[in-house]
Amino acid sequence: MIATLFRFALAVSLQEPAATANAEIPAQLGVTISPDTVTVGQQFIVVIRVRAPRGATVTLPATSDSAYASSPTSTQLIGKPEMQPVEDSAGTTVSGAYRFAAWDVGPQRLGLPDIMITLGSDTGYVSLVDRTVFVRSVLPADSTLRKPKPARPLIELRPFDWRPLLIAALILAAGLLLWRLWIWYRRRREAALDPYTAAQREFARIESMGLITSGEPERHAALMSDVLRDYLAARVEEMDRSQTSSELLLNAGSIYTSAPGLGELLWRADLIKFAKNTIGPDESDKIGATAKSIVRTVELALLEREKEQKAA
């Protein structure tokens, strides 16, 4: 592309003598704009060629005029221009290729500052202020005049309100706390009870059923004896829930002395459960009280034994 621009620059003829200010330095200027009519935003090429006497120094502008470029709709210089000096026996020729883009319609100035020519102690300037490109509108001919959009309102920065987020965080924390409390309560409720506490709870549950007063003393005695069997199986290693009453008594050597009336209670309970013996309310209440007493005395004896073992 650069080589093409300079070939185009060399083909540009010097159309007019350049009027230099502040010094009488003869020079010729040629300016070609291609294309000479563009649309908004379309890029175009400007080739400037200056011929001065031999030994002269020609300085072409490298940037746009700062005052002109400050306008947002001014013609924009794209990239850096390419310069090519050529000196022959008759004089000095300097060519420059520029790339522009226009951003407003109608005749638009290029916005380039003056060309400076120095010959010896003399310095002259060639003005480019009258060089323009025509930018045509792409709107239909019958459209209304172009109207700029109104300015957008200023961005209003408001302080952020943290209160809704804080309230939401507190609600979430309270929900998590309640959930953890519910998990703890459920685990505690479902945790296995120690044998003695479980036996006491079952004794209380059976007594609350009122079986003796409702005409079922045999069932009351059988259930109370079953609670005793469950407690002994869970608390004494030698005993098991599936053992018969004789086997329980045989394996009760370690706690037999702490369980007065155990043999008689198991024998009476077997008669009630398997021989269908009937008993009165007083005897049923006595069997229940004996079962509770045995559980209590056995538990105290076992706790004392465990305490002695720890001390030893």
- Do 130 and 218 have their domain in common? no
Residues written for the chain? 312
pLDDT, tens digit (0-9, with 9 covering 90-100), for 235-283: 888 888 888 888 888 887 778 788 888 888 889 888 988 888 889 999 8
CB of 26 within 8 A of CB of 93?
no
Does any domain span residue 19?
A: yes
For 123, the enclosing helix (H) or strand (E) is strand 122-126
Q: Across the strands, what pairs with 45? A: 34, 99
Global pTM reads 0.42
Does any domain span residue 88?
A: yes
- Do 6 and 108 have their domain in common? yes
CATH code for position 67: 2.60.40
pLDDT, tens digit (0-9, with 9 covering 90-100), for 214-224: 999 999 999 99
- Do 129 and 240 have their domain in common? no
* Domain span holding position 278: 195-311
**Between 4 and 29, where is the model more confident?**
29
- Do 116 and 228 have their domain in common? no
Residue 238: partners with Cβ closer than 8 Å, 6 or more residues away: 251, 252, 253, 254
Does any domain span residue 162?
A: no
The SS3 of residue 93 is strand
Q: How far apart are CA 33 and CA 54, in angstroms?
A: 27
Does any domain span residue 278?
A: yes
| Count of the separate structural domains present in the chain | 2
74-78, 94-98, 166-170, 188-192: least confident range: 188-192
- Do 7 and 112 have their domain in common? yes
